[in-house]
Amino acid sequence: MTPENYLSRKLMLPHLKLINVEKISNKTLHFHCEKETTWEICRKCPTKSYQVHDYRTVTIRDRKFALKNVRLIIKKRRFRCPNCKSVFTESIDGIRSGHRTSEKYRNQLLFDYKNFNTTKSVANVARCSDTLVTKIVNERLELELRKSKNTEWGNSVLIDEHAFRRDPKTGRKTFVTSFVDNNRKCLRELAPSRDHLEMAAAIDHIPGRENVTHAVIDMTGTYKNFILDYFPNAKIVVDKFHVIRLIHPAIRKYRKEATGDIRSNPIRHLLLKNRKRLKPYQKRAVTRFCQENINVNEVYRFKERITNFYNIKGFNQAARVLTKITDDMAKSHLREIRTLRKTLMKWREEILRYFKTGLTNGRIEGFNRKCKLIQRKAYGLKSFENYRLRALYSCS
């Protein structure tokens, strides 16, 4: 096999003939080529044209060859149609009209983006601008996401939020709402805010909302109202992690009253940790501290009761235990405990539904963590649409 044939098979696009190879530098090669066919189909009318009007030369970026940048110098012909007399330029398979990059080059940029994760690093390797990398990557990600666009919702949906960026006008954090299909185990869509209309517009293209039977959320009234309006057959389940952590602010408050805001004090971590996971000497330290502080002792005992509440097997037994906990909270002299009791009573049905389904928000919390990692690697993202494409592609 001659070097010309090898290059034609490995590097050239279909129907292109290699004329010569020009070495511009140690890192750049120019491949001069032209199309082999003698005719072209008119764009306006389906008529073959053999009459060449004139020529023009275009430079196309192609995939690297032997770690060298490749530029295709293509001598294109412009044909005149014998039927409609219009002049048009011949097309080349693998190069879209108006583009100065081949499809192989664009696919290579997407592959590099998967490995490097930042447009800056991809641009340095490909020796091109950040703008070109961003444009090509977003285009390819959009094509990849279209494959699953018409897939219907599963039985269970997880909904949660995470911070996106600070509003430049107000300085406040803006939040993004995540929708996870628990059956397909993927991040299905992102909404730019917690507004009902924006959330509905973001997921309206996904069919089968009547298939959703359970939706898992934290104790946010906004999401509860949205689920009741948008998913007609869905029953709400409250995530157990958000129930357990409701009492943590009260523990921190009364612990600070006893020790002051000393972050180096190890008791602050031991009070929030599950008692079953503590070592014997840690349990003794927590017991001694609670005996010396009555308010901390009362809040800590309720925290342990709520934590152990999720170890119960069976819906009926869980309902009786929750009733006992809320009844004992009514006798407490602490305002935080009585407020917590009202919250548990308000969300009682949704909390107990966990014991029938076993659903939690663990998967969506993992995806939120991955989304934050995308933001960190990009050193922050201003465009929500760019962020959405990267998050959906990485968590699909």
pLDDT digits (tens, 9 = 90+) for 230-271: 999 999 999 999 999 999 999 999 999 988 887 888 899 999
Q: How many CB atoms lie within 10 A of CB 26?
A: 8
User: One-letter amino acid identity for 360?
Assistant: T
Higher-confidence position of 341 and 130: 341
Q: Is the pLDDT reported for residue 20 higher than 60?
A: yes
Give dist(CA 288, CA 15) in Å, integer.
Answer: 83
> What per-residue confidence (pLDDT) applies to 117?
64
Which SS3 state, helix, strand or coil, does residue 314 take? coil
Q: Is the pLDDT reported for residue 1 higher than 70?
A: no
Inter-CA distances, 392 with 191, 208, 332, 396, Å? 12, 19, 47, 6
DSSP string, 31-64: EEEEE--S-EE-SSS--EE--EEEEEEEEEEEEE
Give dist(CA 276, CA 177) in Å, integer.
Answer: 34
Q: Are strands 16-23 and 28-35 parallel, antiparallel or unpaired?
A: antiparallel
Q: pTM of this prediction? A: 0.80
For residue 187, the Cα-to-chain-centroid distance in whole angstroms is 6
What percentage of residues in the chain have a pLDDT greater than 90? 57
Q: Which two tokens stand for residue 183?
A: 């059956």
Provide φ and ψ at 143, rounded to 5°.
Answer: -65, -40
Q: Where are the alpha helices (DSSP H) in the chain?
A: 3-10, 103-116, 119-126, 130-145, 196-203, 221-230, 240-244, 248-259, 267-272, 280-292, 294-309, 315-330, 335-346, 348-352, 354-357, 362-377, 384-394
Inter-CA distances, 60 with 33, 90, 96, 104, 105, Å? 11, 15, 11, 11, 10
Q: Is the pLDDT reported for residue 15 higher than 90?
A: no
Q: Read off the pLDDT of each residue in 347-368 and give the average, rounded to a whole number.
A: 94
Average pLDDT value for the chain: 89
Q: Is the pLDDT reported for residue 57 higher than 90?
A: yes
> What per-residue confidence (pLDDT) applies to 11?
64
Nearest of 237, 212, 246, 266 to residue 343 by alpha carbon = 246
Q: Read off the pLDDT of each residue in 203-210 and give the average, rounded to a whole number.
A: 92
Q: Read off the pLDDT of each residue in 171-181 and give the average, rounded to a whole number.
A: 92
pLDDT tens per residue, range 71-125: 999 999 999 999 998 999 998 888 888 889 998 898 888 888 877 767 888 888 8
Nearest of 179, 143, 144 to residue 161 by alpha carbon = 179
> What per-residue confidence (pLDDT) applies to 187?
92
Give dist(CA 343, CA 332) in Å, integer.
Answer: 15
pLDDT tens per residue, range 127-151: 888 888 888 888 888 887 887 778 8
Give dist(CA 123, CA 116) in Å, integer.
Answer: 10
CB 155 within 8 Å of CB 183: yes
CB 190 within 8 Å of CB 392: yes
Inter-CA distances, 58 with 10, 97, 124, 222, 366, Å? 21, 12, 24, 56, 47
Q: Which two tokens stand for residue 73?
A: 């110098």
